[in-house]
Structures are given as structure tokens and as C-alpha cells.
Structure 1
Amino acid sequence: MNINILFYLCCFVLFGFANGQVPQQMLNKLVCIEQEACGACLSAAAHCRWCADPYFSSKVPRCNDDERPAKNYPLDLYYLMDLTWSMKDDKETLVSLRDDLPSMLKNLTDNFRLGFGSFADKPVLPYINVDERRRANPCNAEEQTCGAIKKNDEQCHLDDNGYYSEYSIYDYPSLAQVYRLLDKYKVNVIFAVTERVKDHYDSIHQLMDDFTYVAKLESDSSNILKLVKMGYEDIVSVVDFEDDSNLGPVRVKYFTDCGVKGGSLIESTRCSGVEYGMTLNYEVHVTLDACPEYKKSNQTILIKESQLGQDYLTLEVEIQCGCDCEGSSSQGSSLNCPVNSHLVCGVCQCNKGWSGPSCDCSIENEAASMALVSQCRDPTSANHMPCSGAGDCLCGECECDPGFSGRYCQCKACQISRENSIECGGVGRGSCVCGQCACADGWSGDACDCTIRNDTCVAPGGTELCSGHGTCACGRCDCASSEEGSKYTGAFCETCATCENPLCAHAEPCVSCYLSKNCTDVCVISGTNYTVAEKLTDADIEDSDAVSCILRVEENSMECEYRYTYSTSTKEMVAMEIIIRAKQCSQLTSARLMTSALIIMACVVAGGIMVIMGVKSAQIVSDRRAYAKFIQEAEESRLNTQELNPLYISPISEFRLPDSFPRDKND
């Protein structure tokens, strides 16, 4: 990869690069390029790669390393300088740099070539001084005479001495011409100009920013080395890929990490800030947008780096849009293909001059074919496609695609009613008129499925629209939420998660009547007609408007649970339809008997305990009363006997003589 740079020093300087490596890189490269066989190449070092292309150039080693040459760009520098009198001091500066410039370039890259050139402004307006004497002869200072100019022919006119011989005839190339040449040969131009004209060259740079750079030059060109170094570093810090995939159906996308270690790949062709030693990972994704024709084709894509050199990668893509079986047509008769047809890839295809599903429509010449096709065009429509582009023209008649109708397939199908899945709601609601539903009285909507009646929103036995819990729209209830936050449900918004369903209770008599075989086909409750049917095999409720209820009854000493649903009826004179969905019965089991016995026993035991506790309580009360009486009597006895034992009997007997008994004097 070779970088070419043109350096313009109001004044041009032109750069170009050659191939060199630092010593270690060169050693790594030599390990690979010395190998002459694929096996030896791949085993020589981990970074060695072998090119197996049989048309590979013999001038380049097939075994090479995988290091990017961007690490040490080869450089061709062409220094193009204005040698008019105004650049006299700049010329002297350049002469003084004859040793410093090569030394500086050697620090940038190991392989470079340096060239010098000169030019002078053309001796015609607007390139010359507008002084009258200068205008008369712009070259009088050089004792020369100048002539007219023509449009640049992009050809190289050199004389035997290597000088441009047509300078006085051809104009400078235009910016568009310059850009094409810079892009073709990958030349980078550095405009080293003074402050006075820098704005002008900034405008040129905006038009050719891919290959041009503008640098401010000191009045005596003393900073030329710095500008060369900065220009080189700026150029090699950008990597940008481009291709010519826009010429075909294959598209190319680029994904790169731009040298960020561990970074994710992003879609981009350009990386900036590339430094010495960086490795940029690129992924190229090739996709096929569409098949322009149903046949095989090839596309060659050139992928190249737009900034640095003329190397490119050729990508040859074989596009398989056709079929390999198109030539096999000898089996048409064996596969029952119609007359005037043949087999192509397993499908019967009409022979030339015939068309139609059975290949029985003759179109022997183009005029006949066009006449048949014209019969399939709607003369009143701006759409002149056969069958309005919504069908196939078969022998002058349109066979419309699904969803289209009419003589020329100009009418779209009408809306299907969500209620009964019939176009425009069916008979009595509306009819389809070339893609639009014409609704009957009492119906509206795109599919005539919106009734203007509101009596269908009143629940049987009720008086309020949607049970007072919603609004009626198109004959259906739009339910609101309850105060607890749960949403009312049912065809009439009659129930919610925390509410009792009044219609379940309203329908129970009809279900009981049906189960007892005492009802006719229609059950009437409070002026509402019900029908009851059984579908015990249907476990699921298919009707979205149906609400489930439960009825428990006793049958033959058994407890049976019936699950039934009710929904609005589509039959005449019937308001509600009740369908018994499931039945489950169970007998009294021993467990239930045991439970009952235990309950009875528990009651008996509890009663006995209560009686015993009553008697015991009475006894305790009686004892307490007797004890209290005893205490009271003991207290009284203690007071009378001076606290002696009232049961104590003294052993002393005392007798007294009557006073009338005679006593002696000694007594």
C-alpha cells in the first residue's frame, strides 16, 4: 500500500509512500517469506499466512505475515513549489532543507522517495497581476511572450526535456478533474499556504476533504518540516474503506472496533486516530437485497481503502436466483400436464402462444395477446393494469385474487362482521357494494354490525341499561368497574368478583323445571322467555358472553351439582339461552355418616357433661350453705360457753338440797 502526498507551497508539496519495516517487524516478515510451501509456511510462525490463489502474482511471496502495512507506511513525497518572484524567500528556505528534509522523512518511515517540482501561474487572467503592463504581456519580466488557454484535456503534454509544453494553451484542471485523479491514484494534497489566502484553500478543502489538507505556512516557509510531519501523521491516522457494490443487488456493510481493545464492533467504514502499532479489526457483511431476475448471475465487488493506496480486494459473488431444473421439460406428458404445456421445475408451464390455467387460450401473436389483455383493463379507471393489479387476466377475463371482486377486480372485499363472521352482517343487516357495506335500517358501522337498539342491553327481569354498571354501545354493554376496583362482567354487566349474580338466581327456576321434566321448549319467568339445553360433554365455555352459574339439588338420595351458563339468544321470541355444561353427583359416604355420628355423640356427651356440672354445682352450693350455717352456730356456742367446746360434757355432777330440808348447825 503506497501513500502519495502532494505538498503545495503557494506552493504545493506532494507526498507518496513506499514499504519499509522496523527491524523486529522485518525479522518477523523474513520468517514467513522464506517459506516456499504451504505446510512449511503455516508452521513457521503463528503470524504467517499462505495465499492459495493460482493467479497470485509471482513477484510477491505467497507466504507472508498478517501484520498490517499501516504500521509503517511507504512514502512518496513530491514537493511542488511556486517559483514566481513572490516565493523567492521560500525557495531559499527549501534549498537550506536539503539535508534536514530527508532526515525527518526517515524518522517517519523506513522507505520513502523524495521528488521536487516547480510551477508558475499561467500568464492569463485571473492568474496574473492586473497591471496594464503585465496584462499586455504577463511574462515580460521573464522576457517571454504568453498566449491563450483551452479547457484542460487531462492529458500529459511533455516535451523532449520533460517540461509541460502546452502550458500556454490548456487551462488548469477543474476541481472535479483534480478530485477524480486524487481518488484514482490515491494522492493526498497538503496545501501549505500563507494566512492571506488560507480562507480560499479552506473552501477547496471542504469540496475535497477526503484527500486534501490545509496548513498555515510561515512567510519564509520556515515551518515546512513541521507541516510535512503533521500532514503525514494526519493522513496515516485515518482508515476508510469503500466499494462499488452499488452497481448490483449485493450490498456490503462494514463493522469495525477501530483498534479499541475489547471494544464491540460498530457499523462504520472509517476509523480515525489510528496510531503506530494499532490493529484494526474489520468485518464485512455481504447481503442480497433482492433477486432482480430469477436466474443465475455474478457480481464482482472491489473493496479498497480509500485513503492510503491503490491496493484492493476483489470479491466475486455468484447469485443463485435461478433454478438448475429449468431445462428439464421432457416429462410433461408423464405428469399429466395439459396440452400446449411443458414441465418446468415441477410445474406445468404453457407453451409459447398459449395461456390460461389449462393452456387452452391461444395467443399466437402479440396482437392477439394484447387484445385479450385489453379486455381485462377497466376503461373508467386511472389504473390501467390488467385486472387492476389484483388478479390474473385469463383469456380476456379476470380471475381475482382473494379479497377482490368485480369485472376488473376493481372492488375490494367488504368488512366481515365480528359477530357472525358474515360480510356486512348478512341478510337483514347490510349488503356489499364494491368494497363498501350499505347498512339496512337499524344498523351502522363498517360491517353493519352496530345496532342502534338498546333494549339488548337490559337484563331479563331488569329495567336499567347494563344493570346500571356500564354503557350501551352497538347493542352491547361496555362495563365499568365497581367501587372495590373489580370490573363488572357479563352481557349485562350484572356481576363482578365480589358481587352476587342476580341472573343466576333469576334463571334457577327454569333450570329446575327442565331437570324435573316439567317444562316445555320455552320457559317463561316474569315475562322473559328462556330455553334450556344440555351439552354435558363440553367442558369449556366457548361463548365469550356466557356467564357460569351453579345449582345444587338432591336426586335419589344423592347431592348433584349442575354447572350452567346463560347468554343472550339469537332466536326470535327468546331472550336468554341456558346451557347445562356439567353435572356432578355424590352419595353420602361412610365418612359422612361417621361425621354425623360423631357430631351426635359429641352433642350427647356435651349434654351429659352439662347435667353433671349442674348437679355438681348444686351440691357445692348446698355444702357451702351447710358449712356457713355450721360456722355461724359454732360462733354462737362459743359465746355461750365461753369458748368451750359445745360438745364437751363435764364429769362433775352437782346436787342441791331443797331449802326446806332440815339442816343441823354443822352444815
Structure 2
Amino acid sequence: MKMAWLLVALLHFVRLLQTLETPMECRPQPTCQECLKSPYCAWCKEKDFLKFGESNERRCDNEKALRKRNCSDVFNRDSVKDTRRDDDLSSDPDNIVQLRPQNLYLKLRVGEPMTFNVEFKRAEGYPIDLYYLMDLSYSMKDDLGNIKNLGQKILDNLLRVTRKVRIGFGSFVDKVSMPYVSTVNAKLINPCPSRLDTCQPAFSFKNVLGLTEDGNEFKRKVSEQKISGNLDSPEGGLDAMIQAAVCQDQIGWGNVTRILVYTSDDTYHMAGDGRLAGIYHPNDGRCHLNAEGVYDKATIYDYPSVGQLSRVLSANNIQLIFAVTEHSIPTYKALSHLIPQSVVGVLEKDSSNVVQLISDAYGNLSSTILLEYQQAPLGLNISFRSQCSKGEYSEWDRTGRCNNVKIGQQVNFAVRLSASTCLSKAETFLIKVQGLREELKVTVETLCDCDCDDREHSATHCNGDGTLHCGMCSCYGNHLGQRCECQRQRDTDTVHEIEAQCRQSNSSQPCSGQGSCECGKCQCRSPYWGEFCQCDDTSCERFDGKMCGDQGACKCGNCQCKAGFSGSACECDTRTDKCNKGSLMCNNHGNCICNRCKCEPGFFRDQCTELSSPCQTYKNCVKCTVLKEGKEGLEANCSEVCGSVRPSRIPDAQQFDCQIEEITFEVEMDKENGAIKIAYADTPGTIDKTRVAVGTAVSAVILIGILIIIVYRVLLEVYDRREYRKFELEQKKVEWKSSQNPLFQGATTITMNPMHVED
């Protein structure tokens, strides 16, 4: 087992080395700047690097290939990671650090991904701000009485997992407009359905108490609240959540874990519902609380959409707990799927279980770590891999996620960045854990400019008619050529004469159609080269999907094979080691072609060591030999059908696998020299199988009949003997006595027959 694991590890290591040694493919470009925009490309800025007729694209290749082509001055820019802030993870109350690093500056090549690691560790005792948002519609009347006494219990329960907790309270009903709330004057003052009850006027949202550590203050403020009422079942909860999230100063949110507890016993209105009341302005997502903490623009702006609510909560790092009654659970679970860092809990009808519900929900929220990015610029691709325990990383995904993370447990993430285009300037985006304010600031700059430090105007290398930059001449005016050595001609005859110098023959295209004719010389497009751009080092034949079978170099469309290989695609191995069987080549039954045996008909295997269908192959040879037995000279010659094989007769009758008519034979191959040996003999005398079968069947029937009769007679004899013994036993038991029967009396009356006459 250990050997198997060792072998797997070794193969993996070999593949890794092959990957590292194999240079990434580069797509050549005509300028240095375009070259750097192409992944894995470098630029040769050596002045005299290009050969005659080569285009500037030949300067652009991967660095290893340029070095191999003897470029002594390669310009290349590698991706760089600069860690500008990397504080250690800490649970110190005065300096809590849960995410590292905190600031990175990256320089990326387009198309070349960069990977870096991010660590997160849940700190013990991280402070909590909890804002309790309650539905005060009339159906929540029983709940309000219980909530008045639960503030301190909520604080005490959360203090078990953190050192500092603050709690606040807000309430909501619905927009004060028909058809949500009755606008009859009496109902505006007292919206209770029964005149015997007293309710406070309806409102959309009210911040009753900002975040505080004082449980008694929470109890006092909540005790002052009265129930309210509305007409329809859905409430204005989404309006209230938006205001509770964006009104940072009024609520008093701190730089801590932020939790919003939403309690209700019914569903909610969403974007578009406001049109029923003539409210058509989209929700602007801003804070509109007046001095009394009331949302006073509810009749101007429509309800927010679910997507808008999700973005606002995420932007303000607020985690959401839905505490709703059982019949509303399906609705809020569907809503929770659309809002990250939110959970749903079942609220008892009188809210008596809210303390335990909040505790359980907070545990679920805080144990789920979701790493995501925000404000990423276009053209930047970001993906994550998660290592939630000591095991392997997960697959790449758009977010990093770990569940059931305990306090003090560290989880790791790998982040991969790749730029698909050049950025006009350095761009910054954020990587953060949902629900927390801690963030990693990442600034990205793309490396797309060539700064070769060799710019020379009217350079001598360019014959004074161009600027030298990155080893390449940019010619002035009508000047052309690698060194601006000629001018563009306007005279037609002159142009034709110049083009004629670029034709390989009178019928061919200038520069073979693969370049431009400048100054009577071809400037070829990559990968073409040569005096007339007739050569292409990428058009050679392929073998097994590889250029020149990976056993040669492609030069001008032809493979130049390494020693030991031949063929148009270097597909032929000139060695013969795989054809040899001892001292024999292909066992004397084939030819060695490209180090592989091409066997004669009737032979197969790598060294032609096996016969295929020997009976069929040599039956004519045996038949000919039998027919010409006893003859001599040409009449006895069967070489036409036997070749070099000479069958031999065995005098005694034999039975072999092969048979023709009354002759049976076998074919064998000599393991030493590969020679074929055939031995044949007469078939042993045959027996009439029909008579044998009939006789056997009749004999079997008779024998079975006799056996049945014998068995019957034996059984009958046994039965008779047993019955006779029983008779004898019964006979012995009978006793015959001669004494007179006492019951017998003789006759006492004598009667005379009157008709009888005695003589």
C-alpha cells in the first residue's frame, strides 16, 4: 500500500516538473506594447536580433525561446505582489484582527493569473450591536407585552459569547395611506379594530431606542410602546429594514458585529406595491428619519426591492435574523435565500422564545464564513478556494465559504486574480467577510507599457530617418524597412520593379502572400520567414499530435529529425531493438520498419512470434505434399504453396488439431530459429457412430428393464417373507383343546315319522 502511494506521489511530482519546464504559449505581436499585453510573452530589444526578411513579430516570444535564439537583451515584466499591511491575527479587545493581510498592491500581466492567501480567525469576545425591529400591527399585541421584559435577558445571553453588547429597539406598521391604513380620521387616531382597545396611530418606521448597553433603558422605552393597526395583511417591514440599516448615526451602529432582528407574524410589501396608493417614486435607499425618529417620507417613496435590501444590508455589514411565526416561515425562507448572511427562526405566537431564537440564530450566522469581493473593476476576474480544516482546498468558486467555524478556529482561502484587459489606471477593490467590517484592500495595476530606456530620435541604426525604441525603428514620413533604408515609391513602373524583386517566380505572389514588399525586400508576417516568406516553421507534419513527433525541429516546413529518427514527421525510429528476438530480426517472419515488425501474412505479435490460423494457412501445403507422395523431381515439388516449409509424415495414425479429409496435421514454430515445422499422419480408423449410438441406447433400455424386474422381484420376495413370518407368529399363539363344551346338551325329544316304515 505504501509503495502504491509512493508511486502516485512520484507521478504527480513528475507531471508538476513537466508543467514547470514547459513554457507557456505566447502569441507573437508586432510591437513591444502589444507583446506585453499577450500572456507569457517577452520582447527582444536587441538591435540586430532579426534576420533578413523577419518581421518585428519575431521579437515577441516567451523568454526561454528568445534566449534560445540568442537574444542578449530581453525585456520582460513579471507580476509582482507587494504586501503593504499584514497585521497578525489577534483577539485582543483593544486591537481585534480577524482578517489578514489588510492591504495588497498587485502588478499583473494581462492573462497571467496571480494567487495569494487570505487568513481568517474568529476572535473570541467580538462586540455585538443588536437592533430589535418589531412589527407593531394589532396581531402582535401579545408579543409586545413579553418583549418589554426580554431586553435584559437578551443582553445577558449574548454576554456569554462576547464581552460587550448593545441593544436597540425600532418598530414598524405600514405606509399611512389607503389601502394599507384606514385614512378615516377616527381610525387615524385609533386604528384598533375594537373601540374597547387603545392603539397608537399607524406609522411606517420609528426608531424608538438607539443602541445602548442599558437593559433597563430598553425595558423602559419598550414599555412605553402601544400596539397599532393596519388594514391589509402584509406589513411595511422592508421599508423599516432599509431605514434601520442606512441611518447609521441615529441607530448608533458601531464598528462591531451588527445584527438586525426582524420580528413579524405576516408577510411584507415590496417594490411596486406602493402604486396601489399612488406612490411611484423608487425607494432611494437613504435615511429619512425626522427628529422624533420617524420615517417621514414613506408616502413619497415606494417600498424597496429585495435586491436593493440585500445590497444595503451587505454594504453596511448587517446580519439579519428573521424571527417569524410558523405560517410565515416558507415566505421568509425564500427571502433569506436572496439575502446573504441571514437566517430564519420560528417565533412563538407570544414571542416567548425570542431569546433562545436570537442566541441560536447568532450562532449559525457567526459560524458561517463567507469571503467575497466588492467594487471590483471590469476586466478583473476573481475566484476563491477554501480550506476550512486541515484538509485540501475546495474547487475554485466565485466566493469562499466555510461552515461550522468555531471561535478561535482559523480558516484559509486562496484568491486568484487575472486581468483580461489593460486597466487605464490602478484600481482598488475590497475583499471582506460578509457581516464584518474588516476588509482586505487590494490595489491592482496592469503591466502593459514598455519602458525599454533606449528611445533615440533620428537614430543611426535607423539611418537617421526613424526613432529607435525597444530595438525597433519607427520610420519617419515615407521611409520604410527594418532600418528605414528606403522610401515608399509612387511611380507605377518603379513599384512593379520593386515588387518583382519580392517574387519567387513570375507567377507567384509578392512575398508568397505572407508579407509586404518593402524596398525590394520581403517583410514577413510571423511565423513566415525567408527571402520570399516561403518558410514556415509551424507547418511541418505532425505525428501523435506533435510537431515532427516531438523528435525534431521544423525548419521551413520540413522536419529536421534528431539522430535515430527519420520520416517526414520524424515518426520513424531507426533503431531495431524492438524488432529483435534474440539474434533474429522479427523472428525471420517480417521486416523491421521504424523499429516495429511488419509481419508476413499468417504471423503476428511484436516480433512475429505467433501464428494466426495455422490450419487454414498450411492446409494447401499439406494437401499438396500428400498428393505428391512417392513422386520425384518436379512432380514432387510443392514449394509454390509451401515455400521453404517441408512437411514430414508420421507413420502411425495420429489425431492432431488440424485435419483435411483423412489426413490430420499440426503446425509448430521453432523457438530457436523461427522455422515452421509441419507433421502429418493418417487419421485413426473411424467407427460408425450411428450404430454405436443405437446399440448403446438399446442396451441401456434392456439393462434398465432387467434392473427394474430384479428390484421388483426382490421387493416382492421381501414382502412375502415378512407376511409369512407374521402368519407363523399368529399360528403359534392359537391353542386347540379337546374338552367338552359345557354349554352343549344332547337332544331329549324323539320324534317318529309316521310315514317311515322300517324293514
TM-score bin, normalised by smaller chain: 0.3 to 0.5
TM-score (norm 1): 0.44
User: Larger C-alpha radius of gyration, 1 or 2?
Assistant: 1
TM-score (norm 2): 0.39
Name the structure, 1 or 2, with higher relative contact order (CA <8 Å, separation 6+): 2
